[in-house]
Structure 1
Amino acid sequence: MLTPENTRIGFIGTGVMGRSMAGHLLKAGYPVIVYNRTRDKATELIENGAAWASSPKEIAERANVVFTIVGYPKDVEEVYLGEDGIVAHAKPHTYVIDMTTSTPTLAEQIYQAAKERELFAVDAPVSGGDVGAKEARLSIMVGGDRDVYDELEPLFKLLGSNIVYQGKAGAGQHTKMCNQIAIATNMIGVCEAMVYAEKAGLNPEKVLTSISFGAAGSWSLSNLAPRMINGNFMPGFYIKHFIKDMKIALAEADAMGMETPGLSLAKSMYDSLAQRGEEDSGTQALYKYWQD
């Protein structure tokens, strides 16, 4: 059993979501070592008791449980499979948990490379955005060996409220693709509804009161529509990262011979926003698509 007494956690990626997630592990009494390419993003964690590492290699050498949540699949590959990465430098029997939204294929590659080094690897992407991370209410989708999942479940419960073992390596990432496909087209509907309400001369906040709890209800409608109304486009999840996720989902769907017209439309709309300089805005900035 992984307890604060026998566990030293390494956490790589202390951005919008990772910062809160590492903080929950700290508050639970676990020793936490953090690394981020921009050290300033780890300052609050360090002030609250986390130790600093200068590289993923150092994290791997010092920790026996390593969490990662970074930007893109190329970052995941470098952090895990690079010359100075986790797989090459972690001690045998270390648990490695990638919570980045990445490709199922890469998750399988990491699992195999880790197994050869007697490491225990799972892919465990999350959903819930900045709010879910802050409130430890993330949905966590896990792929890998069942016994490894069972060992890690108490740590996952410190980060999320909806934790599901999905199956073999890569299954967590495939599940996250399902999540992103559902969000992509739902976000179009949420934005269209809000723009429609305004053009019809309605009070958008009153409209939300009526439709959030009916058949139209969704996480995006309840949590992101109010931000749209208030002109708050700060990122709970970056547009540039969502575009990355949609690219992965489109490629995986194409490989399975599946058409995804809704996803294709959503990506084209977000691509348009990114070209207008909104790539670092939150996904709710799709609302701006209807603005001149």
Structure 2
Amino acid sequence: MMTAFSKFDLSGKTALITGAAGLLGREHALALLESGATVVLTDLGLEALAAARDTLSQFAEPARILTQAVDVTQPKIIDAVADRLAAEGHAIDILVNNAAIDPKVQGDQGVLETSRLENFPLDQWDMQIRVGLTGAFLCSQVFGTAMAESGKGGVILNIASDLSVISPDQRLYRKDGVPDEMQPVKPVTYSVIKAGLIGLTRYLATYWADHGVRCNALSPGGVYTGQPEDFVRRITSLIPLGRMAKRDEYRAAVQFLCSDASMYLNGQNIVMDGGRSVW
């Protein structure tokens, strides 16, 4: 009988991570490398991917870290990458849909007025949903189909957010001396995308279940990355644990959700937000 800890072993498995050059993308990759998987880092920029690979190579064998430039909004590019990986003998066992655009609510980025619902540009709505939601659908379509047809099954993990289950508290972003109609807000797209990922998770969890393909979601809370002191004070007042997450605190959850340790977990949204959504 396998022990509980042995079920976390991902040796011989290959995981593909979208948006892997970003802050949490690298952490997800490191989590899977720690469990023995080979990882395929995908993102738009080759330089950012190379930097991520160099960083991760300090913790794992470089041979287990592959990179592919992928625009998750382009089906032909995803298909080409899937074909290339298959030709090189890399069958994807785990797909982590992590690619997203997370608009930062800061005046110096010019989003004070355009972040507000009344003025939110249609081109931004279309582009952000293409990346964060359509991209997850397209990657799941390609790699999930391959998992189902392989006879071995696989795992799809969608990275959502605590804003998949709660509304953004726009008071967090208020700026002194700014009129109400110009106050920055978390854009509508972020909430729509993250809630949509939960719907996609539930759909995929039942669609290929008879072929051994499981799908779950992980919804992180805010991660501390040196944000302004006033913002940190405001958001931590909403979190029962009294702090934001450290960047490495989601690794064990990713290992659990992508391994046989969670083999009977399917269609669920695991919310890790320090308790913010239950207060």
Q: Which has the higher helix share?
A: 1
- TM value normalised by structure 2: 0.36
